[in-house]
């Protein structure tokens, strides 16, 4: 099929990036341009010939502009096949073929993000004519080109220059993109209005419309025989990461990257975390990024091999000098100094990532299960302020400060989680065991990098039996923070009192099940 020549175009856009350059090109090629409202005004200001849609249809805009393009001459001109039967029908109603539709919609998503936008104002941002024209053009892509993204203007210009028209392959690709565009738009409207309705009951809408845009195909999935891809739902956090160098990210890299970034965003500055299989194997605080990294590495240098290193402060040359000789998968921070990037560039396979958003992610968490989806709020520390001393001995100021650090880290460790800390970072981590006392034993006897006497501990959930506290006390732990809530809380507290361990209840659990 030969490229489709463009003789008549209808242009009506809210997003006007690249509009003038593209429209001038079309006009210079002799294309008749139909337009509406603000788009027509913008074109006339640049002396680009344009005909109002109302002039084309013979019907003026009515209902404050709500009805202008929903007209048989417009939709017929878009939907008509270039067959004699269709063209005769179009001629009967006084219409003419439209070969190119350039449309994007009223900015509903942008308006929905503004808290002060009222519901009536939001309703007015729901586009009706635009989606109708786009869907019609996408359906009839054998005969019509549809453009919803200004980034595609240059593609159209290039093909017209080189081939005299737009190829069938490009028309089909743009049609698919147009349906993606309308689907996202409808999902945004359904999601927002459902959330308004749900205020009367559940915090979650009765229908969950989700649209994610593909960022890239990944090297492989959780295992090499599984294919995988990365999609984003918004232009922030991992959706806006900048990869400075290194191999393509894998499925597991992104899981670890997500875990690492979530942890350092929760930590006080200046901090570094080293992640392995989504668990922190070391967390350190320091006066500089370098010192924070060295403290994090000190916890478990063996497990740090092949891990992900995350900083919550800009990464300088001193920090990368300290880590450059380690085998690592990813280094991530909010920003990298030029000298630091120059040093890291010598490690060609190391992935170096910048993420500018450093506050905890407050969106929903989705977990796919067979035949359905589990949805929950992200686990944030907002409101986690209860601290109740339940033992006879209250913790010292130093113990309490260290426990707060352990409490932050504990949230990011797979349950059952036990974290041992001092004032500067992790001392030992016990993660993901089926019984809490086993996590205690791992943290104190297998993973602790130094004598644990005088350290404190954090537990992500309650101690079901006193044995966990007994093991901690035997290792020299002097204070413990935990949620409380066990039917054996009194036994646990009595044991702590007997052993001289200060204990604080937080009243809130931070279980990380999976």
Q: Which CATH superfamily is domain 232-354 in?
A: AICAR transformylase, duplication domain (3.40.140.20)
Q: Give the CA distances from residue 347 to residues 241, 245, 324, 350, in Å, rounded to whole numbers and listed in that order.
A: 20, 9, 8, 6
Instruction: Give the containing element (helix H, strand E) for 280.
Output: strand 279-285
Active site residue 441: no
Residue 246 makes CB contacts below 8 A (sequence gap 6+) with: 330, 348, 349, 350, 351, 352
Strands 364-369 and 372-377: antiparallel
Contact between 364 and 289 under an 8 Å Cβ cutoff? The reply is no
Both tokens of 347, joined, read 């490690």
Is the entire prediction scored with pTM above 0.85? no
Cβ-based neighbour number of residue 349 at 10 Å: 10
Q: Which CATH number fits domain 8-196: 3.40.50.1380, 3.40.630.30, 2.40.50.140, 3.50.50.60?
A: 3.40.50.1380
* CATH match of 388-505 with 1.10.10.10: no
> CB under 8 Å, gap of 24 or more: what pairs does 5-8 form?
5/99, 5/164, 5/165, 6/31, 6/99, 6/100, 6/145, 6/160, 6/165, 6/166, 7/31, 7/32, 7/97, 7/99, 8/32, 8/34, 8/77, 8/96, 8/97, 8/98, 8/99, 8/100
Residue 312 makes CB contacts below 8 A (sequence gap 6+) with: 264, 265, 267, 269, 270, 271, 272, 333, 334, 358
Q: Which of 7, 81, 86, 139 is catalytic?
A: 139
Bond before 52 cis per omega within 30 degrees: no
The closest of 283, 222, 506, 299 to 412, measured between CA atoms, is: 283
Q: Which of 277, 324, 445, 498 is catalytic?
A: 277
- The DSSP call for residue 225 is T
Active site residue 277: yes
HSE-CB for 171 with a 13 A CA cutoff? 23
> Among all chains, which residue has been given the structure tokens 């109302």?
54
Digit-by-digit pLDDT tens for the chain (514 residues) are 789 999 999 999 988 889 999 999 999 999 999 988 888 899 999 999 989 888 787 777 767 667 777 788 888 999 998 889 998 888 888 889 999 999 988 778 777 777 777 888 888 888 888 899 999 999 999 999 999 999 999 999 999 999 999 999 999 999 999 998 898 888 888 877 877 776 555 677 777 778 788 888 998 898 889 999 998 877 678 888 899 999 999 999 999 999 999 999 999 989 999 999 999 999 999 999 999 999 999 999 999 999 999 999 999 999 999 999 999 999 999 999 999 999 999 999 999 999 988 888 888 888 989 999 898 988 999 889 999 999 999 999 999 999 999 999 999 999 999 999 999 999 999 999 999 999 999 999 999 999 999 999 999 999 999 999 999 999 999 999 999 999 999 999 999 999 999 999 999 999 998 7
Tell whether the torsion through CA atoms of 308, 418, 295 and 424 is positive or negative. Answer: positive
Q: Give the CA distances from residue 28 to residues 99, 154, 247, in Å, rounded to whole numbers and listed in that order.
A: 16, 15, 45
Comma-separated ranges of CATH 3.40.140.20 domains in the chain: 232-354, 388-505
> Among all chains, which residue has been given the structure tokens 């294309």?
31
Comma-separated ranges of CATH 3.40.50.1380 domains in the chain: 8-196
How many DSSP H helices and E strands does the chain contain? 19, 21
Cβ-based neighbour number of residue 482 at 10 Å: 28
Rg of the chain, C-alpha, whole Å = 30
Contact between 461 and 416 under an 8 Å Cβ cutoff? The reply is yes
């Amino acid at each position: 099929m030969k490229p489709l020549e463009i003789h008549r175009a209808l242009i009506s856009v809210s997003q006007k990036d690249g509009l003038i350059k593209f429209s001038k090109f079309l006009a210079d090629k002799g294309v008749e341009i139909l337009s509406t409202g603000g788009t027509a005004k913008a074109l006339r200001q640049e002396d680009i010939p344009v005909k109002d849609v109302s002039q084309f249809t013979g019907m003026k805009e009515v209902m404050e502009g709500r009805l202008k393009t929903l007209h048989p001459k417009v939709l017929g001109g878009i939907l008509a096949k270039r067959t004699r039967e269709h063209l005769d029908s179009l001629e009967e109603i006084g219409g003419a073929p439209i070969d190119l539709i350039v449309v994007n919609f009223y900015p509903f998503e942008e308006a929905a993000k503004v808290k002060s936008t009222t519901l009536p104002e939001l309703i007015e941002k729901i586009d009706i004519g635009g989606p109708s024209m786009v869907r019609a053009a996408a359906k009839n892509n054998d005969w019509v080109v549809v453009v919803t993204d200004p980034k595609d203007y240059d593609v159209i210009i290039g093909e017209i220059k080189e081939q005299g028209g737009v190829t069938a392959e490009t028309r089909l690709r743009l049609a698919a993109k147009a349906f993606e565009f309308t689907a996202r738009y409808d999902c945004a409207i359904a999601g927002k209005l459902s959330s308004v309705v749900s205020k009367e009951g559940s915090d979650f809408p009765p229908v969950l419309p989700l649209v994610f845009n593909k960022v890239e195909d990944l090297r492989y999935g959780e295992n090499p025989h599984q294919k995988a891809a990365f999609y984003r739902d918004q232009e922030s956090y991992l959706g806006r990461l900048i990869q400075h160098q290194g191999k393509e990210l894998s499925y597991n890299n992104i899981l670890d990257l997500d875990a690492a970034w979530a942890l350092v965003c929760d930590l006080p500055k200046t901090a570094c975390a080293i992640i392995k299989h989504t668990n922190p194997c070391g967390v350190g605080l320091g006066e500089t990024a370098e010192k924070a990294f060295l403290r994090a590495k000190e916890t478990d240098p063996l497990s740090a091999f092949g891990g992900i290193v995350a900083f919550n402060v800009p990464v300088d040359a001193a920090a990368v000098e300290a880590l450059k000789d380690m085998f690592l998968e990813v280094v991530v921070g909010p920003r990298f100094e030029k000298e630091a990037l120059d040093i890291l560039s010598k490690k060609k396979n190391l992935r170096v990532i910048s993420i500018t958003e450093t506050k905890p992610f407050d969106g929903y968490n989705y977990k796919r299960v067979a035949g359905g989806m589990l949805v929950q709020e992200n686990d944030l520390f907002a409101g986690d302020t209860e601290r109740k001393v339940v033992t006879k001995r209250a913790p010292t100021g130093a113990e309490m400060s260290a426990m707060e650090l352990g409490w932050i880290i504990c949230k990011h460790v797979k349950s059952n989680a036990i974290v041992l800390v001092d004032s500067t970072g992790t001392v030992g981590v016990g993660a993901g065991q089926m019984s809490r006392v086993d996590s205690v034993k791992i943290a104190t006897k297998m993973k602790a990098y130094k004598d644990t006497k005088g350290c404190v501990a954090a537990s992500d959930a309650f101690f079901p039996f006193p044995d966990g506290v007994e093991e901690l006390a035997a290792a020299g732990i002097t204070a413990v923070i935990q949620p409380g809530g066990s039917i054996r809380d009194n036994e646990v507290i009595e044991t702590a009192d007997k052993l001289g361990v200060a204990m604080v209840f937080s009243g809130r659990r931070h279980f990380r099940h999976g």
